[in-house]
Structure 1
Amino acid sequence: MSTPRTVLVVGGGAAGSAVTILLRRAGLAVDLIEAKDDWNATAGSGITLQGNALRVLRELGVWERVEESGYGFGSVGITAPDGTVLHVQDDLRTGGDDLPASVGMQRPRLQRILIDAVRASGARIRLGTRAETFEQDAGGVSVRFTDGTGGRYDLVIAADGLGSTTRTAIGIPDRPEPTGMAIWRIAAPRPTGVVRTDLAYGGPAYIAGYCPTSDTTLYAYVVEANRDRASIPPESYADEMRRLARAYGGHWPEITGHITDPAQVNYAWFDRLLVEGSWHRGRVVLIGDAAHCCPPTLAQGAALSLEDAWVLAQLLTGADHWDDALLRAYYERRIARVRPVVEASVQIGRWQLDGVRDADVPGLMARTMTMLRELP
């Protein structure tokens, strides 16, 4: 019996967990390391998963748990700042007609579902561990870990996020760049009438929106021009978000009443990243936010990361030889799909920052989402 090929996955977020599950299903030996001791099991407020993300989650075998844990809906509402509904648009089912257009869910809940699936896969998991050095030759990669141990792998998959240290270690110079916007987010109880995402444009923020994440919860957010993070003390986060949110009507007064604990409010800048040329060096390859990131204006960040994992796993498990040509094919297949999403997500924000009133936002969104309905 031949020895199975060995893979190290660096990072246990959505992309890293997904590729681990798929490779283990094919019989490969997979080690997953995650820098956080808690595996990010409590981090984040909420997430919007569109159909193309749900399609991959179904492939992972976790769709039923996602469906039970989240809140499915099929439209988005556009409102005035006072809460008046101006338009309701049906969402395109990018995952196919047998899946909802979107599911909102609590981000920690999604992470827990993926953690359970990784554990059930039989992968070897090491938490609180980072990869320190990578030494490559024609046969594989020797990795030294921060705890002083080492390992030898046929392939290393870097899924260690926007600030990927693996990307830097293998000599890829691309770095995330701020787009000029920032977002305040919080998880809160769901008002009874909230049954979809609603977006308000105008007022003191560029966007004020919310998304139901279960029968009883939602996450709410306001988007503004980015500010110097050092000038905003964390203990003022609730006050800052509440100041912006109280200008909005409709369901917002009820939501705003729950913005009281600064520890529950997240503030982050919007970033753009698209690694050009290739997403690998030798036998180390990037997936997810380590390779690309875009503002959440199209809610496609997690979906694109999950698609990366699905496509790379297909290529790896279907090939007799893992070589430069295979990893180049992975890049070429993904860049054609990822680039339009990154560019559209950034453009929508740019139009808002520049105050362009006649921008064809609906048309750009429709063209991009139609493209995503095709299989990756």
Structure 2
Amino acid sequence: MSTPRKVLVIGGGAAGNATAILLRRDGITVDLVEAKDDWNATAGSGITLQGNALRVLRELGVWDQVRTSGFAFDSVGITAPDGTVLHEGRDLRTGGDDLPATVGMQRPHLQQILIDAVRASGATVRLGTTVTGIDQDADGVSVQLSDGTRHRYDLVVAADGLGSATRALIGIPDRPEPTGMAIWRVAAPRPAGVERTDLAYGGPAFIAGYCPTGPTTLYAYVVEPKRDRDAIPPGAYAEEMRRIATAYGGAWPAITATITDPSKVNYTWFDRLLVEGSWHRGRVVLTGDAAHCCPPTLAQGAALSLEDAWVLAQMLTVGDDWHEKLLQAYYERRITRVRPVVEASVQIGQWLLGGVRDADVPGLMARTMHLLRELP
């Protein structure tokens, strides 16, 4: 690229970190601002990374660290609530045959790997900082930060998550909508013999599952209809998750016995978001959860965000002209891949909520995974 460029990335999660790393690799000056003072104050307990996410992490140069930190596996088990294994299926390697189908990780470990890569890239990082104002013209964007400074950029990438303040600031009215389901998650020791994800359908929850996240750890979760979050005191989180999980057999009794600390239990609703028409206004463009979010029924949220960063960086680094058509082309390239994943993720949840017993969940999952095997 012959003309020096400067980009602001708003948000230091998966999408923002990946964008910063890839743009810096091409010599673009990058500032990254993150609202949290603690960049790795990561909510949640674990993350499931399927092959198409691993493909991007390899492109970022962090695959070796991810492989060492996480737990790779290639199958999924379907069980009865009592733990009886009903079916074991091979997972499709959506990242290609040279990568595992799935890696489970502790979320803070993945975040730290990406943080280290951002810092090594030479990006300027400002923590505890938000964007308070954006003014645009034909040539660039002037940004006011909460620390009182003002800066000029050629492009702003808004990767500030589901509740994106930037999305509202640039006049995109879309907001996340609850799907009617919620999830309890907890990190726990990994019982002997647990070497893949197992999913139990039925019992007091729609789904009870777990995913290995390392040599001695896993994260466990139960999915249920959403409740009024304000009616559940955080101090009761462990007791409530334990109450639900007690109904499940197999590895669950060993897991349930460790659910004692309410501060380790996370409760969130499932949300849906898909910004239509375009993901940009002028020279400010949305990426990751700021543009789309889906329930974790297909475990594709982080993967889609990482893909966004990869595709956007590819398109920004092929030439000097960061024009309206390029940003619209980015949206059009991504929406054809993101929409079916969001719709399938929501549909699976709706079938569960509606008690549809003859729903073709395996078929819908297989069709979606085959789509994701193609390069984004």
TM-score of the superposition, structure 2-length normalised?
A: 0.99
Superposed displacement of residue 147, structure 1? 1.3
Mapped to 1, the partners of 2:181 and 2:231 lie a distance apart of 16
Residue 161 of structure 1 aligns with which residue? Answer: 161
Residue 178 of structure 2 aligns with which residue? Answer: 178
Q: Residues 198-209 of structure 1: matches in 2 within 5 Å? A: 198-209=198-209
Mapped to 2, the partners of 1:135 and 1:320 lie a distance apart of 22
Q: Report the residue type matching 1:368 in the other structure.
A: T
Q: Secondary structure at the match of 2:340?
A: helix
Residue 66 of structure 2 aligns with which residue? Answer: 66
Task: Figure out how many residues of one structure are paired with residues of the other and give that number.
Answer: 376
Percent identity (aligned):
80
Q: Does 1:287 align with 2:287?
A: yes
Task: Provide Cα deviations, 1:220-265, integer angstroms capped at 9, x if missing partner.
Answer: 0000000000100000000110000000000000000110000000
Mapped to 1, the partners of 2:147 and 2:120 lie a distance apart of 25
Residue 300 of structure 1 aligns with which residue? Answer: 300
8 A contact 2:73–2:100 mirrored in 1:
yes
Superposed displacement of residue 42, structure 1? 4.4
Mapped to 1, the partners of 2:54 and 2:166 lie a distance apart of 28
Mapped to 2, the partners of 1:271 and 1:313 lie a distance apart of 27
Superposed displacement of residue 88, structure 1? 0.4
Mapped to 1, the partners of 2:37 and 2:197 lie a distance apart of 33
Residue 318 of structure 1 aligns with which residue? Answer: 318
Residue 346 of structure 2 aligns with which residue? Answer: 346
Mapped to 2, the partners of 1:2 and 1:90 lie a distance apart of 47
Superposed displacement of residue 44, structure 1? 2.2
Q: Secondary structure at the match of 1:296?
A: coil
Mapped to 2, the partners of 1:226 and 1:65 lie a distance apart of 36
Superposed displacement of residue 4, structure 1? 1.7
Residue 240 of structure 2 aligns with which residue? Answer: 240
Superposed displacement of residue 320, structure 1? 2.1
Mapped to 1, the partners of 2:33 and 2:58 lie a distance apart of 24
Mapped to 2, the partners of 1:155 and 1:45 lie a distance apart of 33
Q: Secondary structure at the match of 2:205?
A: coil
Q: Where does structure 1 differ by over 3 angstroms across 4 or more consecutive aligned residues?
A: none
Q: Residues 220-235 of structure 1: matches in 2 within 5 Å? A: 220-235=220-235
Q: Does 1:334 align with 2:334?
A: yes
Q: Secondary structure at the match of 1:263?
A: helix
Q: Report the residue type matching 1:351 in the other structure.
A: W
Gaps of 5+ in 2: none
8 A contact 2:3–2:320 mirrored in 1:
no
Q: Does 1:359 align with 2:359?
A: yes
8 A contact 1:189–1:216 mirrored in 2:
yes
8 A contact 2:105–2:212 mirrored in 1:
yes
8 A contact 1:41–1:111 mirrored in 2:
no
Residue 92 of structure 1 aligns with which residue? Answer: 92
Mapped to 1, the partners of 2:41 and 2:239 lie a distance apart of 26
Q: Does 1:6 align with 2:34?
A: no
Superposed displacement of residue 2, structure 1? 6.2
Q: Report the residue type matching 2:120 in the other structure.
A: A
Mapped to 1, the partners of 2:200 and 2:22 lie a distance apart of 39
Deviates more, 1:350-359 or 1:32-41: 32-41
Residue 187 of structure 2 aligns with which residue? Answer: 187
Task: Provide Cα deviations, 1:305-341, integer angstroms capped at 9, x if missing partner.
Answer: 0000000000000122000000000000000000000
Task: Provide Cα deviations, 1:277-329, integer angstroms capped at 9, x if missing partner.
Answer: 00000000000000000000000000000000000000000122000000000
8 A contact 2:162–2:290 mirrored in 1:
yes
Mapped to 2, the partners of 1:146 and 1:155 lie a distance apart of 19
TM-score of the superposition, structure 1-length normalised?
A: 0.99
Superposed displacement of residue 146, structure 1? 0.8
8 A contact 1:41–1:112 mirrored in 2:
no
Q: Secondary structure at the match of 1:206?
A: strand
Q: Does 1:146 align with 2:169?
A: no
Residue 105 of structure 1 aligns with which residue? Answer: 105
Q: Secondary structure at the match of 1:86?
A: strand
Q: Report the residue type matching 1:147 in the other structure.
A: D
Q: Report the residue type matching 2:309 in the other structure.
A: A
Mapped to 2, the partners of 1:35 and 1:327 lie a distance apart of 25
Deviates more, 1:36-45 or 1:18-27: 36-45
Mapped to 2, the partners of 1:102 and 1:243 lie a distance apart of 29
8 A contact 2:74–2:102 mirrored in 1:
yes
Residue 262 of structure 2 aligns with which residue? Answer: 262
